[in-house]
Amino acid sequence: MSKMQRWLLPLLALIAVVAIAITVTVGIMFANASAEERARTSALDAAKSYVVDMFAWNPKNVDNNITSTLGRLTGPAQKEYQDRIVSEKVAELVKQQGVTTALTIQGAGVMENTRDTARVLLFINQSSTRNDAAEVQIDASRLVFGMVKQGDTWKINEIDILNDDSLEQNVQQTDTPPSDAVPIPEAPASEAPAPAPGG
């Protein structure tokens, strides 16, 4: 074997190792980015589904909606919902007063996420009537759900109801807006969804 061959073989081996390392690194980066994108989509879909059961009730579905919501909450969010909705016996009030609340999602977007965490911003309108009254009360709200993935299921561990100042602060915490970000609307007449009818 010539001197050039003895010099060339280790160099080729080194180049091959570097090429393999680059391929593996790029593959891992692509897999992580793809996983985060899938997590972004699934977290947004989950948040939009959960918020309807959380705040849309009528005498027939209120028990099921509250039970379903409790199963989708964890940590501080579960305790807060338990205190505000279950302990205050909202389901009984809904049935007694014939309350019907409907919820419309005006916009939603993921503010930030990883493969197993997400913060989702939701703009919602909640309309309420009671005992078939002609008058309809409409409340506009802006919420942020802090979400964690447990197994294959997203759960909400934090619920923030935003006013103008807290909304601006939350938006400024992100470096760049996501591709599905939603614009900030004019300040609504009411900042929070009605926690309990008749309250």
Predicted confidence at residue 177, as pLDDT, reads 43
Q: Are 137 and 188 in contact (CB under 8 A)?
A: no
Predicted confidence at residue 147, as pLDDT, reads 96
What would the pLDDT profile of 41-86 be if each residue is shown by its tens digit?
A: 999 999 999 999 998 989 999 999 999 999 999 999 999 999 988 8
110: number of CA atoms within 13 Å, CB side?
21
The winner for highest mean pLDDT among 15-19, 95-99, 145-149 is: 145-149
Predicted confidence at residue 50, as pLDDT, reads 95
Predicted confidence at residue 131, as pLDDT, reads 81
What would the pLDDT profile of 156-186 be if each residue is shown by its tens digit?
A: 999 998 875 544 554 455 444 444 433 333 4
Stated pTM of the model: 0.66
| Cα 72–Cα 159–Cα 186 angle in degrees, nearest 5 | 125
The candidate with the shortest Cα–Cα distance to 154, out of 110, 107, 116, is 116
CA distances from 40 to 29, 66, 133 (A): 16, 25, 40
Q: Are 140 and 188 in contact (CB under 8 A)?
A: yes
Which residues lie across from 148 on neighbouring strands? 117, 155
What would the pLDDT profile of 115-154 be if each residue is shown by its tens digit?
A: 999 999 999 998 888 886 666 677 888 999 999 999 999 9
Domains and CATH numbers, the chain: 3-172 (3.10.450.230)
Q: What is the mean pLDDT of residues 10-38?
A: 69
